[in-house]
Amino acid sequence: MSMHIEVTGLVKQYPLKAGLFARAKDRVHAVNGVSFSIPRGQTLGIVGESGCGKTTTARLLLRVIEPDAGVFKFEEVENVFSLPEEELKHVRSRMQYIFQDPYNSLNPKMLVRDIVTEPLRYRGNSTRRELERKAAELLEHVGLSPADSKKYPHEFSGGQRQRISIARALSSNPSFIVCDEPVSSLDVSIQSQILNLLIDLQKELGITYLFIAHNLAVVFYMSDTMAVMYTGKIVEMGPSEELYRTPLHPYTQLLIKTLDTEARKDPLVKNDSGEVPSLIHYPTGCTFYPRCPRRQAKCLEAFPPLEGEGIQHQVACYFPGQEQKK
């Protein structure tokens, strides 16, 4: 299958802010060698706890921040990361971003009409009339009314604001959209409406999504393939259905159990201390070791490589497997 997006060996370390105990060489290991690919029109979901590197991955792909290493093949571009700034402009319109927080990501002083057509105005070859027509069309496309174009963001609910963000993302006809926690700040009752809108738009327009969330159920709902991320690494990746039914990594098993109220009584879930190792003094072995019910001495030697039977379902664990039923 030909891939629309191929990311290989993505690495990002942030310099530590100067502080009393900070040494110049201290770095936050935010993303530590992440690779994945997405076929056109499909969704790859990334799930993982706060701080595991999801947003950093998203910002790297959009080149909001620069990677320390990695290759990002996108459509005919061999490596987006090595494109000079002036060529990046053309790629940028084909890649868009939907943020978590529809309150802070929309400029409160701008009319909705101007917000949703901003990516077009940036390119500067449309007349005012064209932009107005385009704004009305975009708003209808995401389930809002053309009359909403003369309002300001504060006149809308959270879900409606996220529709405005989606309309803005669609305005430049992107082929790839990164959705970073797009429903996390919304009421549960509104979440599925926005998720279904994203699914409908994908079916209609053939857009490829990278869909990021900390909630495994939400990622499962949205994704063809799921990647589970922990301390800047993918620890398990595979077809969503298979990964959900047959998780092989103890961390994935923990995430799935946490969804289920009854299973929270399980010792693995109940005793989970949630101890995540420091991303500054990144350990040599498996970073899940302190929380792992299956840990052994070997796990301290090196981080296990992401491997599997074939390329479909991969897991980074020396002792992968389904849990023993008690």
Residues with Cβ < 8 Å from 114, sequence gap 6 or more? 121, 135
Asked if 165 touches Mg ion (CB under 5 A), the answer is no
The CB-of-55 to ligand ATP minimum distance in angstroms stands at: 3
Assess contact for 144 and 163: CB atoms under 8 A.
yes
62 versus 77: smaller Cβ distance to Mg ion: 62
Assigned token pair, 235? 């620890």
Asked if 32 touches Mg ion (CB under 5 A), the answer is no
Which residue pairs from 107-110 have beta carbons closer than 8 angstroms and sit at least 24 positions apart in sequence? 107/153, 108/152, 108/153, 108/154, 109/152, 110/152, 110/153
18 versus 297: smaller Cβ distance to ligand ATP: 18
Partner that binds at residue 214, options Mg ion, ligand ATP, none, CB closer than 5 to 8 Å by kind: ligand ATP
214 versus 291: smaller Cβ distance to ligand ATP: 214
Asked if 55 touches Mg ion (CB under 5 A), the answer is yes
Three-state secondary-structure class, residue 264: helix
The CB-of-277 to ligand ATP minimum distance in angstroms stands at: 11
**The 3-15 sheet, strands edge to edge:** 27-39, 3-15, 69-74
Spatial distance between the Cα atoms of 137 and 121, rounded to a whole number of angstroms = 16
83 versus 279: smaller Cβ distance to ligand ATP: 279
Q: What is the phi/psi pair of residue 86, to 5°?
A: -70, -30
102 versus 320: smaller Cβ distance to ligand ATP: 102
Stretch that binds Mg ion, among 55-63, 106-114, 227-235, 283-291 (CB under 5 A): 55-63
Residue numbers at the binding site for ligand ATP (CB under 6 A) = 14, 28, 30, 48, 50-56, 214, 279
Number of chain positions touching Mg ion (CB under 5 A):
2
Assigned token pair, 88? 């990046």
Residues that bind Mg ion (CB under 5 A): 54-55
